[in-house]
Amino acid sequence: MSIKDNYQLAKKEYEKWGVNVDEALEKLKSVPISIHCWQGDDVGGFEVNQQELSGGIDVTGNYPGKATTPEELRSDLEIALSLIPGKHRVNLHAIYAETDGEVVERDELKPKHFEKWVNWAKEQGIGLDFNPTLFSHAKADDGLTLAHPDKDIRDFWIRHCIASREIAAFFGKELGSPALTNIWIPDGYKDIPSDRLTPRQRLKNSLDEIFQVEIDEKYNIDAVESKLFGIGSEAYVVGSHEFYMGYALKNNKLCLLDTGHYHPTEMVSNKISAMLLYSEKLALHVSRPVRWDSDHVVILDDELKEIGLEIVRNDALDKVMIGLDFFDASINRVAAWTIGTRNMIKSLLYALLVPNEHLKQLQEEGNFTERLAIMEEFKTYPFGAIWDYYCEKMGVPVKESWLKDVKSYEKEILSTRD
């Protein structure tokens, strides 16, 4: 049978439960995923005075073909975008500026250093998001930035974050879609601190100063991202979840939840509904921690499905800004983007095909037996046939056939790189 025939049969199965499959696919088309550029070059960036990766970030593997120039990175992203259904976004870090060989300090970055990215985004018909880069720099070598006791160092990073917000606003104006500017810092201590409050007070003051510069939310949306621990900050991180949740709610900023930044038994899916009660919007960085914040490529595991379900069942597709954050140098990097992004979209489609209102009613009635039975049975409903049809309809490869394109690109392009 054809893909469409399989789709029609599967559609009837879902329609028995009142699921409008065509409507689900239309909703899915409107959801952009922000794809992180740093998977393509192992979080290296293109600074003239490029420094060693730091801030508790580590990329393992030496698969050939990593991007070493902005042109190569954009080319790789184009291939990945052509294999992923829907219109999406690309997320940049400040270290991906293009300065034409000139050394430009991060606190002096301007929109002009990202004009090529904006022109490329216009050609692709996509939006851009942004992150100040507060790692891999001499002024972050001791593991402190916005919370640093040295005012000169704090001021440097404050200026960098202000410059980053202005760059993001440039993206928003030029591309007609507001950029999300997410602030994450590595600040913390390796061993047990004798004073947890003072660094957090400094971080709060730094953030207050950064956000004193008003930027129209039509062009830029601010977010802050927490972390439980990192390499070199095992005992204490200044910007904890509680710190940033409080700061975001009090100052009308988005709280960004990274799925790798919590205790291994702590599920971000469980936080989404709680956060949405108090904040109009929420941001995610979806990753896959294995034992620690290891940023493995996103797979369609139980937690990813649950994240999709929490977003969909709470009618939050337009309230949760979904971004990805993983980097694996042990496999083909274009394939990593493709696998991870397609899986994120699959989780949303899976959730859109579940009879969520019926299950909610069963729970309200206390009918937990039927609730569990239906939730489990839907795991083997013909979801794959719907996904295949969606991919075909959106003009991207069906099933694993996208691997042919990646293998061809690797043979013709990636294998020629030094």
Catalytic residue among 325, 388, 405, 410, which?
325
Is 52 marked active-site? no
Q: Is 93 annotated in the active site?
A: no
Burial environment of residue 16 by CB neighbours within 10 A (0 to 12, 13 to 18, 19 or more): exposed
Tell me the C-alpha distance between 138 and 105, whole Å: 11
Is the distance from CB of 67 to CB of 413 less than 8 angstroms?
no
Q: How many domains does the chain have?
A: 1
199 is a domain residue: yes
Task: Identify whether 129 is a catalytic site residue.
Answer: no
Res 48 pLDDT > 90:
no
Is 62 a member of any domain?
yes
- The single residue of 47, 107, 295, 410 carrying the catalytic annotation is 295
Per-residue pLDDT, 12: 97
pLDDT at 50: 77
* Residues contacting residue 154 through CB under 8 Å, at least 6 positions apart: 145, 146, 147, 148, 202, 206
Q: Find the CATH number of the domain harbouring 106.
A: 3.20.20.150
Kind plus residue range of the DSSP H or E element containing 358: helix 356-365
295 classed as catalytic: yes
User: Tens of pLDDT along 328-359?
Assistant: 999 999 999 999 999 999 999 999 999 999 99
Q: How does residue 288 score in pLDDT terms, banded at 50, 70 and 90? A: very high
285 flagged as catalytic: yes
Is residue 213 in a domain? yes
Q: What is the pLDDT of residue 293?
A: 87
Residue 22 tokens, joined:
């065509």
Q: pLDDT tens-digit profile of 13-32? A: 999 999 999 999 999 999 99
Q: For residue 34, which of 286, 295, 365 has the smallest C-alpha distance?
A: 286
What values do phi and psi take at 285, rounded to 5?
-115, 110
Note down the domain range covering 252: 32-342
Confidence tier at 56 by pLDDT (50, 70, 90) = low
Q: How far apart are CA 410 and CA 417, in angstroms?
A: 10
Which of these is catalytic: 47, 222, 293, 405? 293
Relative to beta strand 282-286, strand 292-296 is unpaired
Residue 196 lies in a domain: yes
Active site residue 184: yes
In the set 47, 107, 222, 258, the catalytic residue is 258
Query: Whose structure tokens read 């061809």?
Result: 408
How does residue 230 score in pLDDT terms, banded at 50, 70 and 90? confident
- Tell me if 371 is assigned to some domain: no
In a domain, residue 406? The reply is no
Task: Please name the residues in contact with 221: beta carbons below 8 A apart, sequence gap of 6 or more.
Answer: 178, 179, 180, 181, 254, 281, 321
Cα radius of gyration (the chain):
22
Query: Is 52 a residue whose pLDDT tops 80?
Result: no
- Give the residue carrying structure tokens 């062009």: 219
Per the listing, tokens 């660094």 go with 199
Residue of 36, 139, 227, 253 marked active site: 227
Statement: residue 57 has pLDDT above 90: no
d(CA 96, CA 164): 12
263 is catalytic: no
Catalytic position from the list 174, 222, 225, 303: 225
Query: Does the annotation count 258 as an active-site position?
Result: yes
**Residues 148-180: pLDDT tens digits?**
999 999 999 999 999 999 999 999 999 999 999
Q: Which of 113, 261, 305, 346 is flagged as catalytic?
A: 261
The H-or-E segment that residue 48 falls in is: none
192 pLDDT higher than 70: yes
User: Two tokens at 192?
Assistant: 């047990």
Whether the per-residue pLDDT at 146 is higher than 70: the answer is: yes
Would residue 148 show up in a list of annotated catalytic residues for this protein?
A: no
Instruction: Determine the pLDDT at residue 58.
Output: 74
Average pLDDT of the chain is 96
Q: What is the pLDDT of residue 222?
A: 98
Structure confidence by residue, pLDDT tens digits, 108-134 = 999 999 999 999 999 999 999 999 999
Answer whether residue 188 shows pLDDT above 90: yes
* Burial (0-12, 13-18, 19+ Cβ within 10 Å), 60: exposed
Question: Quick check: is 236 in a domain?
Answer: yes
Mapped onto helix, strand or coil, the DSSP state of residue 344 is helix
**CA distance linking residue 129 with residue 222, whole number of Å:** 10
In a domain, 122, yes or no: yes
